[in-house]
Homo-oligomer: A and B are copies of this chain.
Amino acid sequence: MEREELFRKISVENEKKMVLLVLDGLGGLPVKGRTELETARTPNLDLLASESELGLSHPIAPGITPGSGPAHLSLFGYDPLKYEIGRGVLEALGVGVAIGADSVAVRGNFATLENGLISDRRAGRIPSEKNREIIAYLRERIKKIEDIEIGLFPGEEHRFVLVMSGAGLSDQLSDADPEAVGRPILYARAKSEAAAKTARVVNLFIDRLTAELAAFRPANTCLLRGFAQYPAIPSLGELFKLKAAAIAVYPMYKGLAQLVGMDILETGRSIQDQTASLKRHYADYDFFFMHVKKTDSYGEDGNFAGKVSVIEEFDHWLPEILELTPDVLVVTGDHSTPAVLKAHSWHPNPVLLKAAFQRQLPPDGRFLDVITVADHPAQGSGKAGVVDRRYKFCEKTCAGGVLGTFSAMDVLPLMMANALKLKKYGA
Closest to A89 in B: B427
Q: Which of A139-147, A272-280, A418-426 lies at the interface with chain B?
A: A418-426
Whether A397 sits at the interface, judged by CB under 8 Å, is: yes
Bound together, the chains give a CA A343 to CA B424 distance in angstroms of 9
Q: Which of A181-189, A200-208, A405-413 lies at the interface with chain B?
A: A405-413
Bound together, the chains give a CA A17 to CA B194 distance in angstroms of 46
Quick one: which of B69, B80, B368, B407 contacts A363, CB cutoff 8 A? Answer: B368
Interface residues of chain A: helix, strand, loop or mixed (majority): loop
> In the complex, what's the smallest C-beta–C-beta distance from A408 to chain B, in angstroms?
11
Closest to A345 in B: B357
Residues of B within 8 A of A363 (CB): 365-368, 396-397, 400
Bound together, the chains give a CA A396 to CA B401 distance in angstroms of 10
Residues of B within 8 A of A65 (CB): 417, 422-425
> In the complex, what's the smallest C-beta–C-beta distance from A381 to chain B, in angstroms?
15
Closest to A72 in B: B426
Taking a contact as CB atoms under 8 Å apart, the answer to whether B346 and A66 are in contact is no
Per-residue CB contact flags for chain A residues 337-359 toward chain B (1 = under 8 Å, else 0) read: 01011011111000000000111
Q: Which of A55-63, A130-138, A309-317 lies at the interface with chain B?
A: A55-63
Quick one: which of B68, B395, B404 contacts A427, CB cutoff 8 A? Answer: B68
Residues of B within 8 A of A81 (CB): 1-3, 6
Taking a contact as CB atoms under 8 Å apart, the answer to whether A425 and B62 are in contact is no
Quick one: which of B84, B357, B405, B413 contacts A64, CB cutoff 8 A? Answer: B413
Quick one: which of B68, B397, B405 contacts A404, CB cutoff 8 A? Answer: B405
Bound together, the chains give a CA A68 to CA B61 distance in angstroms of 25
What is the number of residues of chain A that contact chain B, defined by CB distance less than 8 Å? 74
Residues of B within 8 A of A87 (CB): 427
With A363-B400, A365-B367 as contacts: A62 and B427 at CB distance below 8 Å: no
Quick one: which of B341, B368, B395, B426 contacts A67, CB cutoff 8 A? Answer: B426
Taking a contact as CB atoms under 8 Å apart, the answer to whether A60 and B425 are in contact is yes
Taking a contact as CB atoms under 8 Å apart, the answer to whether B1 and A84 are in contact is yes
Within 8 A of B (CB), among A1-48: 1-3, 6, 10, 29-30, 33, 35
Whether A414 sits at the interface, judged by CB under 8 Å, is: yes
Taking a contact as CB atoms under 8 Å apart, the answer to whether B62 and A360 are in contact is no
Bound together, the chains give a CA A399 to CA B1 distance in angstroms of 29
Residues of B within 8 A of A414 (CB): 62-63, 346
> In the complex, what's the smallest C-beta–C-beta distance from A220 to chain B, in angstroms?
28
Taking a contact as CB atoms under 8 Å apart, the answer to whether A360 and B68 are in contact is no
Taking a contact as CB atoms under 8 Å apart, the answer to whether A357 and B29 are in contact is yes
Having A63-B418, A69-B426, A405-B405, one finds 20 other A-B pairs with CB under 8 Å, namely: A1-B82, A10-B64, A29-B357, A30-B360, A61-B410, A62-B407, A64-B413, A65-B423, A67-B424, A68-B427, A70-B426, A359-B395, A361-B396, A362-B366, A362-B399, A363-B367, A363-B396, A395-B402, A396-B402, A405-B406
20 contacts between A and B (CB under 8 A): A56-B404, A63-B413, A63-B414, A63-B422, A64-B413, A64-B417, A64-B422, A65-B417, A65-B424, A68-B427, A70-B425, A80-B426, A84-B426, A87-B427, A340-B357, A346-B417, A359-B396, A362-B399, A399-B402, A403-B405
